Amino acid sequence: MYKIVKTAKLSENQYDFWIEAPKIAAKTKPGQFIILRTNEEGERIPFTVVETDQDKGLIRFIFQVIGKSTSELALLKAGDSIKDVSGPLGMPTEIENYGTVMIVGGGVGIAVIYPVLRALKEAGNKVITILGAKTADLLILKDECQEYSDELIITTDDGSLGMKGLVTDAMENIIAKNSIDHCWAIGPGIMMKFCTMTAAKHDIPIFVSLNPIMIDGTGMCGCCRVTIDGEIKFVCVDGPEFKGTEVNWKEFLGRMKQYEEEEGVSLTDYQKVQVKDHG
């Protein structure tokens, strides 16, 4: 059992958890993730580690409520426990001094981009950051990202904060004014695809962090497979970061939808039980 030590609600549906997992805290590097299972009947779900506190043996992760498992997780409080947590999983981000880097984070993907951004800043890069969200309320980790960015641009779909529009528009603005050596984009699949197209247009190398369906997370099932430069790769062991230009996006986006129907059934079923038990 893994104890939850602190929780915070970041927005209407985004939550911030710190849990006790000293062995994982000691080993996690930026870009790596954990897989957890809330309870005995639970499924295994992946979350990126946002931050660690090695002295206290804690790891931090942020999630958005999108279905049954995350709804259940969101009900847990400090002092409660999570049944299983395994990690750190995946390959760490290739952190080095690239020069000037452009970091794009969208939605809950900002939680994934933050540790990468921070490590890149600490490695001496000039960091230009773009954060995108639907509305101002949904924008997470703004201050943290600000702290490690030389420049920070915010975009919202409705213009409630920063510039109104898409992260790719902001990318174009930055590229027009700066010479960018490397780019990272992490967020919804479709956003990463368009960021890749934008970066590729200007010949800027780009890394994305893929978030396919996973089960074990240790390379033994191939559920998370993607085609990278024509070859089958397993995101859990070979990734999660890949060169955006080598990802077969059509296939990746198609495979994300595999269980939409079942995910709906599971959530509806859960909500019915919740209503019945708690009114």
Cα angle: 120, vertex 253, 104; to 5 degrees: 25
Q: Nearest approach, Cβ of 235 to another protein (angstroms)?
A: 12
What is residue 251's three-state secondary structure?
helix
Q: Is 54 annotated as a binding residue?
A: no
Q: Does 272 bind another protein (CB under 8 A)?
A: no
- Smaller CB distance to another protein: residue 6 or 83? 83
- Smaller CB distance to another protein: residue 10 or 89? 89
Tell me which stretch binds another protein (CB under 8 A): 49-57, 129-137, 175-183, 218-226: 218-226
Please give the size of the binding site for another protein, defined by CB under 8 A: 44
Q: Does 103 bind another protein (CB under 8 A)?
A: no
SS3 content of the chain, % helix, strand, coil (to 5): 35, 30, 35
In the list 117, 226, 228, 235, the residue contacting another protein (rule: CB under 8 A) is 226
- Smaller CB distance to another protein: residue 245 or 258? 258
| Cβ contacts of 77 within 8 Å, gap of 6 or more | 4, 7
| Cβ contacts of 265 within 8 Å, gap of 6 or more | none
Q: Is 236 annotated as a binding residue?
A: yes
Q: Using DSSP, how many helices (H) and how many strands (E) does the chain show?
A: 9, 17
Q: How many CB atoms lie within 10 A of CB 151?
A: 15
Q: Does 216 bind another protein (CB under 8 A)?
A: yes
Instruction: Please state the φ and ψ torsions of residue 206, each to the nearest 5 degrees.
Output: -135, 135
Q: Nearest approach, Cβ of 266 to another protein (angstroms)?
A: 5
- Smaller CB distance to another protein: residue 62 or 226? 226
Residues numbered 1 to 40 that lie near another protein (CB under 8 A) are: 23-24, 27, 37
Tokens of 56: 């206290």
CA distances from 241 to 85, 154, 236, 237 (A): 21, 23, 10, 10
Q: Is 223 annotated as a binding residue?
A: no
Annotated binding site for FAD: 62-64
Binding site for another protein (CB under 8 A): 23-24, 27, 37, 41-44, 68-69, 83-89, 215-216, 218-223, 225-227, 232, 237, 248, 250-251, 254-255, 257-259, 262-263, 265-266, 269-270
